Amino acid sequence: MVKILVDNHKCTGCGTCVDNCPVGIYEIKEGKSVPVNSEDCLVCRACEAQCPESAIQVIE
Ligand code: SF4
Ligand code: SF4
């Protein structure tokens, strides 16, 4: 099972992960990114690579 961790101290709510995840894992809630359906994650790691704050960790 894939676990997605977003460091709320680093996340600025920029929305890059929302725009780049091919399967719509993320939503912005109260200014922070939240992985709402991480069971659909493809482990493509686009979110990790593109987050400007390096706030995301995808753990298999
Ligand atoms: S790309 Fe990074 S900083 Fe931007 S909303 Fe997503 S987790 Fe937060
Ligand atoms: S690894 Fe890929 S599929 Fe999984 S949350 Fe990140 S961008 Fe979405």
pLDDT for 20 equals 98
3: helix, strand or coil: strand
Atom of ligand 2 at shortest range from CA of 45: 1
d(CA 44, CA 9): 24
What's the gap in Å between 12 CA and the centre of ligand 2?
18
pLDDT tops 90 at residue 1: no
pLDDT of residue 31: 98
pTM, whole model, 2 decimals?
0.96
Domains of the chain: 3-59 (3.30.70.20)
**4-52: pLDDT as tens digits:** 999 999 999 999 999 999 999 999 999 999 999 999 999 999 999 999 9
By C-alpha distance, which of 41, 56, 47, 60 is closest to 17? 47
Q: State whether the beta carbon of 43 lies less than 6 angstroms from ligand 2.
A: yes
Distances (CA, A) of 24 to 1, 36, 58: 17, 9, 15
Q: Judge if the beta carbon of residue 41 lies within 6 A of ligand 2.
A: yes
- 3-class SS at 46? helix
